[in-house]
Amino acid sequence: MASNVVVVVSSSSSCVSLSQLRALNLHSPLPWLPWCGDNFSKKVIEWNIKEDCCSWDGVSCDPATGYVTGLNLSFSMLSAQIFPIFNLHHLQTLNLACNDFNSAPFPSGFENLRNLIHLNLSYTIFSGQIPAGISMLTRLVSLDLTSMSSLELRKPNLESFFMNLTCLKEVYLDGVDLSAQGSNWSQVLSSALPHLQVLSLSYCQLNGPIHNSFATLKSLSYLQLSTNILSDEFPQNVFLLPKLKTIDISNNYLLSGQFPEFPKHTPLQTISLYNTKFHGELPQSIGNLQSLKILDIYRCNFSGLIPSSLANLTKYY
């Protein structure tokens, strides 16, 4: 009886596109990105074009079809055009983190990558408006656009950008200018992204209150909203989300609030309220936070006695 044999043949068009990417970046200078460290690689310029591109460092392929499905080109000294990547229509994972594109305008073409599930463009030093094409990637589960340059989201606005990205579980937009979104940003996000597990929006120039609907994000485990212009009363029930481990709303000097009563087995590990107007007494129930490691309430307006139950927090640093 004949055995089943799988013959793998790489998609030649995929390899051609990657060869073009290599040619465009042959003379890339060593970037200076202090926030990325110094773990840079020459993987792209060392690709051997005489070999199957599926064997190249940073390239992953579907073993049955040979199509390129993953590119991890982080720390790869890319600095030229990336348009050949937009021909890789079977890509599911794209990581270009920590490449220095010298504040070039954010390229269009991402709308061609309709199979993308994970997109990481953090610290790529693009500038200008985030392209609307990313909002068409309806299969995205994680999106990281963390920026140290002048990225912004204006047109489309936050609601239009995320309305079709309902599969998203992780969103990192730290450093992206979201000031044009107005004060309804929190209601928009909690409505559009019901499956959020990670939300990181520090240094985004967000303003206004945080809507009570944030407490409906039952899967949220990480919430980072530090260094914005948030104001009014923070919804207490957010602290009680069943999976929330980290909450950092520090350095929002107009934001006030109070701690809730914490039930037993609350999973919080990090609470950072530095430089806010949180007030009132620390509740005795804070001792129920058996997993708490970091409690930063410096430069807040808390009053009263330190609860004796803090002695129960054996994991506290």
Write out pLDDT tens, residues 258-267. 999 999 989 9
In-domain check, residue 234: yes
In-domain check, residue 23: no
pLDDT at position 11 is 61
The predicted model scores a pTM of 0.93
Q: The dihedral of CA 160, 206, 214, 247: what is its sign?
A: positive
Average pLDDT in the chain: 92
Per-residue model confidence as pLDDT tens digits over 58-102: 999 999 999 999 999 999 999 988 999 999 999 999 999 999 998
In the chain, the number of structural domains is 1
In-domain check, residue 260: yes
Q: Where residue 10 falls among pLDDT bands split at 50, 70, 90?
A: low
pLDDT at position 76 is 94
Per-residue model confidence as pLDDT tens digits over 26-46: 888 888 888 898 889 999 999
pLDDT at position 2 is 43
Q: Where residue 12 falls among pLDDT bands split at 50, 70, 90?
A: confident
pLDDT at position 31 is 83
In-domain check, residue 7: no
pLDDT at position 9 is 43
Per DSSP, the three-state class of 93 is strand
In-domain check, residue 20: no
Per-residue model confidence as pLDDT tens digits over 275-300: 999 999 999 999 999 999 999 999 99
In-domain check, residue 2: no
In-domain check, residue 317: no
Per-residue model confidence as pLDDT tens digits over 209-239: 999 999 999 999 999 999 999 999 999 999 9
Report the C-alpha gap between 199 and 310 in whole angstroms: 28
pLDDT at position 4 is 44
Q: Where residue 313 falls among pLDDT bands split at 50, 70, 90?
A: confident
Residue 5 has pLDDT above 60, yes or no: no
The residues pairing with 61 across neighbouring beta strands, listed in sequence order, are 68
> Cα–Cα distances in Å, from 166 out to 2, 139, 143, 163, 198?
46, 8, 12, 7, 14
Find the domain containing 144 and state its range.
29-312
Report the C-alpha gap between 272 and 228 in whole angstroms: 14
Query: At 228, which CATH number?
Result: 3.80.10.10
Return contacts of 152-155, CB within 8 angstroms, 24+ apart. 152/128, 152/176, 152/177, 152/178, 152/180, 153/129, 153/177, 153/178, 153/180, 153/181, 154/129, 154/180, 155/129
Residue 8 has pLDDT above 80, yes or no: no
In-domain check, residue 181: yes
Q: Where residue 317 falls among pLDDT bands split at 50, 70, 90?
A: low
